[in-house]
Chain A
Amino acid sequence: MNEGFEWSTHGAHLIEATGQTLYMVSATLVIGGLLGLVLGLGLYTTRKGGLLQNRWIFAILNLVVNIFRPIPFLILLFAVAPLTVGIVGTRLGSTAMIVPMSVAATFGVSRIVEQNLVAIDPGVIEAARATGATRWRIITTLLVPEALGPLILGYTFVCIAVVDMSALAGTLDGGGLGAFALDYGYKRWNFGVVWVTVIVIIILVQLAQALGNRLSRKVMHHN
């Protein structure tokens, strides 16, 4: 059974698995990325000296992030299963996996967003305030553009972590490259399949990294 990677037997599965991985990763990056952005903005603006400084809200947000972020992804996946079923209707399949992955990504992204926003020169925000801009306008139109370069690099970094999560999720009925490597490679002791999966993942990650670097350089070029 361990005859290596055969395009005729494995090709279609590999393409399907790659598609599922891309689906899980990109959906997670969008959902977790946006929720993480909102949470990160919340942390940044409510902290001491922030535009919406509020000790209690900051303390609560900070606590929630600190509690959830270190939970190992596998455990988090089990823990949010009721939520997954509530939203998707099932706990199996690629779509279901997007829920725990997005939850994990949200907390990871929030810290990255917060760190990059903290690096914005407070003088710039002050200058915006001095023009009479509302805090809402500053939050929605100025903060993200001012930190965009480093934010893109931060997202790229998260992207790699999400690919990692997707592989693990895949082994628990999530489909994707993780499941492909498990079912057709590891379980059948076929390392040809495992290594082809590794190469596909390396290519995906490198593409993401290259795209992230390019984009961030592009926006930072004039910065």
Chain B
Amino acid sequence: MSSPSSATASSTSGGVRSPIIEFRDVSKVFTSRSGTTVAVDHVDLSIEEGEIFAVIGYSGAGKSTLVRLINGLERVTSGELIVDGQDVARLSESQMERKRRGIGMIFQQFNLFRSRTVAGNVAFPLKVAGWPKERRDARVAELLDFVGLLDRAHSYPDQLSGGQKQRVGIARALAAGPKVLLADESTSALDPETTQDVLRLLKKVNTELGVTVVVITHELEIVRAIADRVAILENGRVAECGTVFETFTNPRSEVGRKFVSTVIHDQPRGDDLTRIRQAHPGRIVTATIHDGSRLGAVLAGAGAAGVSFEIVYGGIGTLQARSFGSLTLELTGPDAAVDEVVRRLRDVTEVEEVA
């Protein structure tokens, strides 16, 4: 599979990054007969050129609304939303139509045109952008090759599997060479294996074409699989925003901790905790593990101080090529000696007492 040329210069290779999308105090209020809903509430957020940025939150948090503001499918109520140098809040509908050609979008239900073939779907944005026929045909072939569906060019969407449909969706979204790709729950209708395929493809879109990808999801697993940074949305507000590593290892908001606990099961909770408490009368602490925390060295010294330890719970994984996780330990021995070991552990990592 080859990589189609992109209108974007590849900007993923480090260097200085600048925001391509910037929310400045953006709100979106829906007014209906039944009242008003503040779907996006004074959001400040910036998405860097060339990154994969995830927006996560529970249902109704305002994720879809937030992303639809970017391409003007919903219009901003107040604030500024700078997309590639232009405040989309100030664009007229016809200026917005032009703007959208530089922003691709894929959907949970794929939303392919059922009356058009796979090639026809991919050609649609090119017709919109006014490409002449010969260039269009070449571009369609190039894109179908990129997503691995060249042999299905003349099929109709209803003859494709879900994963194939989403590939067509991606090819269509990339057709006119956008700088940004918006993906709203783009894998939620797919099985786990197909989800991985599509995520790999999105990653390839990002690394090979330099397209900035904004991924909306309610699954932290997806964030973990592909995103560089993540914003957690709750009731239309950004609860926290940071690198995926920071957010996973050290969530700062309540909703962040809740999300992280659903994918990382390295700390004992509920029944597990009760069971551990019953079986282990000693002092129980949980120590965080990350690259460079020399936990082993401290524990090796514990014996000499008259403290014995038992690992009672834990988990270690990798995230963005770095180790992280935690171990829960039972320490037994004279109180003063145990205190000393805990103090030494604190020198190398974060330690939490387990009640």
What CA separation (Å) do A129 and B98 show in the bound complex?
11
> Are A131 and B73 CB-contacts (below 8 A) given A123-B111, A124-B111, A124-B113?
no
Q: How far is the CB of B60 from chain A (nearest CB, A)?
A: 19
User: Which one of A130, A134, A223 contacts B105 once the chains associate, using CB atoms below 8 Å?
Assistant: A130
Interface 9-mer from B75-83, B123-131, B219-227, B238-246: B123-131
* A1 on the B face (CB < 8 A): no
Which residues from A are CB-within-8-Å of B112? 124, 127
Question: Shortest Cβ distance from B130 into chain A, in angstroms?
Answer: 11
| Chain B residue at minimal CB-CB distance from A144 | B115
B172 interfacial contact with A, CB 8 Å: yes
Alpha-carbon gap, A148 to B107, bound state (A):
24
Q: Considering the chains assembled together, what is the distance between the CA atoms of A102 and B116 in angstroms?
A: 32
Q: Is residue B229 contacting chain A, with contact meaning CB distance below 8 A?
A: no
Evaluate whether A132 and B100 lie within 8 angstroms (CB atoms) in the complex, with A222-B156, A223-B158 already known: yes
A114 contacts the other chain (Cβ, under 8 Å)? no
Q: Known interface pairs A145-B116, A223-B156. Does A131 touch B111 (Cβ–Cβ under 8 Å)?
A: no
**With A129-B73, A131-B172, A131-B176: A146-B114 Cβ-Cβ less than 8 Å:** yes
Residue on A with the closest CB to B129? A132
B101 interface contact, C-beta 8 A: yes
Contact of A126 among B73, B99, B159 (CB under 8 A): B73
A22 located at the interface, meaning its Cβ lies under 8 Å from any Cβ of chain B in the complex: no
Q: Is the CB of B111 within 8 A of A127?
A: yes
Give A117-144 as 1s and 0s: 1 = Cβ < 8 Å from B's Cβ atoms.
0000101101111111110010000100
Given contacts A126-B73, A223-B156, A132 and B111 within 8 Å (CB-CB) = no
Q: Is the CB of B116 within 8 A of A134?
A: no
> Given A131-B176, A132-B99, are A137 and B115 also a contact pair (CB < 8 Å)?
no
Indicate whether B349 reaches chain A with its CB closer than 8 angstroms.
no
Chain B interface bracket (under 10, 10 to 19, 20 to 34, 35 or more): 20 to 34
Query: Closest approach, in angstroms, between the C-beta of A214 and any C-beta of chain B?
Result: 17
- Output the nearest chain B residue to A149 by Cβ-Cβ distance: B115
Instruction: Give the distance in Å from the alpha carbon of A130 to the alpha carbon of B124 in the complex.
Output: 11
Chain A hits for B71, CB < 8 A: 130
Q: How many residues of A contact B (CB 8 A)?
A: 20
Bound: A129/B182 CA distance, A: 14
Query: Per-position contact with A for B119-141: 1 when CB-CB < 8 Å, else 0?
Result: 00000110011000000000000
B262 interfacial by beta-carbon distance below 8 Å: no
In the assembled complex, which residues on chain B have CB atoms less than 8 Å from the CB atom of A128?
113, 124
- Determine how close the nearest CB of chain A comes to the CB of B172; give it in whole angstroms: 7
- In the complex, chain A residues whose CB is within 8 Å of the CB of B104: 130
Nearest CB in chain B: distance from A188 CB, A = 52
Query: CB distance B159 to A222 under 8 Å?
Result: yes
A142 to chain B: which residues have CB within 8 Å? 113, 115
B352 contacts partner chain A, Cβ-Cβ < 8 Å:
no
For the complex, is B278 an interface residue (Cβ under 8 Å from A)?
no
Bitwise, B81-122 to A at CB < 8 A (1) or not (0) is 000000000000010011111011101010111111000000
Closest to B72 in A: A129
A141 nearest in chain B by CB position? B127
Instruction: Tell me the chain B residues, 234-291 only, with Cβ under 8 Å from chain A.
Output: none
Which residues in A have their C-beta under 8 angstroms from that of B175? 131
Quick check: B111 and A134 within 8 Å, CB to CB? no
Q: What residue in chain A is nearest B108 (Cβ atoms)? A: A123
State which residues 141-161 of B face A: CB under 8 Å.
156, 158-159
Whether B176 contacts A146 by the Cβ 8 Å rule is: no
Q: Which residue of B lies closest to A222 (CB)?
A: B156
Distance of A142 Cα from B175 Cα, bound (Å): 18
- Do B100 and A126 have beta carbons less than 8 Å apart? no
Most chain A beta-carbon contacts within 10 A, residue among B101, B109, B111: B111
Bound-state Cα–Cα, A121 to B182, Å: 20
Q: Is the CB of A121 within 8 A of B125?
A: no
Q: CB distance A133 to B98 under 8 Å?
A: no
Of the A-B pairs whose beta carbons lie under 8 Å apart in the complex, a sample of 6, sorted by A's number, is A127-B172, A132-B129, A132-B176, A222-B114, A222-B159, A223-B158
Query: 7 more A-B contacts (CB under 8 A) besides A131-B124, A134-B97?
Result: A124-B111, A127-B105, A127-B113, A132-B101, A132-B128, A134-B128, A222-B159
Interface residues of B (CB under 8 A from A): 71, 73, 94, 97-101, 103-105, 107, 109, 111-116, 124-125, 128-129, 156, 158-159, 169, 172-173, 175-176, 182
